[in-house]
Chains A and B, each alone.
Chain A
């Protein structure tokens, strides 16, 4: 085959829509803020679009065979995120734009560097150890930081990063490799007590170990979101690898039991649950429940088509740019916009799961499924929290919410999914 570039027309045509979306979004928001249309509104979207186009051309030049839908969808969500940062916290816009440039670099590096994806599975214990170290790093006195009640940050130079974000990628790689290694256990019929299968030791040990780690995170780092997320990812991947719903059920029961005990022992969990159940009570409405109450007002205020970009009052919600972007977007773009946002996430996850189905080896299948599941679960947990369906937790809406660590890891996640799809497309010899 000649080493010519390889056109990616679907991706390019979808990126045209991303460009239109970014430009109109910025014009609307800046227009509402300054009461005039000016070229200043176009600087940030222009820089961002050049960046995205560069990524597209990079993939073309690499003769990359992978999927063409994921990258534009992620770029569209990131564009909406930039519009919302301009709207809600314009002083953070440059910072978020720089983070998207770093994310693009991380994306390109992930596409280039691991020559052989399967090789990732050979270092699985390294990933596990690194993940655990990063997970407990915020607990150490010198580098750890507590922000807004959760001790999940470490100091790096002048800023701070959330190591949990990297941990979720490391854990998915580790689980995929681990579950692949013990898949032979599958072929044996599990011993049964009555109708219930007893998990063989290689499955039972990680269930209990992950449960222990999850409880520690909940108690010491005070982060219910992270707990839910990575225990959820683990159970989903265990179910995918074994096909035994009962194993996942054991995990859920353990989590509920542990959660119940922790709820009664530790104040910070009680506060979260209280503000979820009765945020409008006198003692909470202007205290711990203030943020959630304002978020719910924003949701209600949005109505079907929203107040219009730049026309709502989402700035009444404290820390709206990182915790409550979904409510802010729903207020200004309405139910219609909110559903479109969720549908874009759905496209992403659906595409990711298809990549998993097509992947040639168990490791790659579990890897792709686990990565897509991160995005799905994270969206569910934060949107559910914003809408008061479940207790509010401090995790980010993927790609959209303000936050550097989250944006960088999510773009690395996209690159890994693209790599998996690249392998399967090359292998099937399909254009």
Chain B
């Protein structure tokens, strides 16, 4: 009886080490798999979401063009902006479009003619959903994934 207990105890001890390694291998495996999918995602050519041009004027972006977005985007007439709206009705620094904690947010940057979402003037920092239409100057843009 004594011997069988000792043998069993050793079996449990060895099982502990084996399980430790199996757990480690599984964890590494999960890491590896997520790394592969991430590489695929990272290989996608452009930004995390897009503004698709709906209405435009001559000289500004063409209708249907997809402008890639980053986490924080300045929008305006200046060439230094992330999204350039080449329309004299747009201010040099017009608005700020930002992704924070799973949501898109728009904020007017003190523009002359204001920023409009779905026909309503933006007054504070407002949430933007995919499919919403953003009007800056005479250019209309839709937020898409």
Contacts and interface: CB of A to CB of B under 8 A. Distances in A.
Q: Do chains A and B interact in one complex?
A: yes
Interface of A: 10, 13-14, 17-18, 20-21, 24-25, 27-28, 31-32, 35-37, 67-69, 72-73, 76, 80, 115-118, 305-306, 308-311, 333-334, 336-337, 340-341, 343-344, 347, 350-351, 354, 358, 360-361, 422-423, 426-430
Nearest to B15: A24
B101 interface: yes
A27 to B, nearest CB: 5
A76 to B, nearest CB: 6
A13 B33 CA distance: 14
Interface of B is mostly: helix
29 contacts: A13-B26, A14-B26, A17-B22, A17-B23, A21-B20, A21-B23, A25-B16, A28-B13, A31-B8, A32-B9, A36-B5, A37-B8, A68-B34, A69-B27, A69-B30, A308-B13, A337-B17, A340-B20, A343-B24, A344-B24, A347-B24, A347-B31, A354-B38, A358-B38, A422-B102, A426-B102, A427-B49, A428-B48, A429-B145
B3 interface: no
B95 to A, nearest CB: 18
Contacts, number: 115
Contacts of B102: 422-423, 426-427
A375 to B, nearest CB: 15
A73 B145 CA distance: 33
A420 to B, nearest CB: 10
B36 interface: no
B17 A427 contact: no
B101 A423 contact: yes
- State which size class the interface on B falls in: 35 or more
B37 A35 contact: no
A430 B145 CA distance: 11
A31 B24 CA distance: 25
A350 B99 CA distance: 26
Nearest to B21: A340
B31 A340 contact: no
Nearest to B100: A118
Contact of A430 (B9, B12, B33, B37): B37
A333 B67 CA distance: 57
A268 to B, nearest CB: 37
A360 B48 contact: yes
Contacts of A115: 101
B35 interface: yes
A249 to B, nearest CB: 31
B73 to A, nearest CB: 12
Interface of B: 5, 8-10, 12-13, 15-17, 19-24, 26-28, 30-31, 33-35, 37-38, 41, 48-49, 71-72, 99-102, 145
A116 B5 contact: no
B128 to A, nearest CB: 13
A358 B38 CA distance: 9
A430 B16 CA distance: 36
Chain B CB within 10 Å, residue with most, of A10, A24, A37, A117: A24
Nearest 7 pairs of A and B residues by beta carbon: A360-B71, A17-B23, A426-B102, A308-B13, A28-B12, A24-B16, A116-B101
B48 A28 contact: no
B31 A69 contact: yes
A179 B53 CA distance: 36
Contact of B9 (A31, A69, A73, A306): A31
Contacts of B12: 24, 27-28, 31, 309
B71 A69 contact: no
B27 A354 contact: no
A146 B123 CA distance: 56
A73 B102 CA distance: 26
A14 B10 CA distance: 25
B93 to A, nearest CB: 16
A76 B23 contact: yes
Contact of B19 (A20, A32, A423): A20
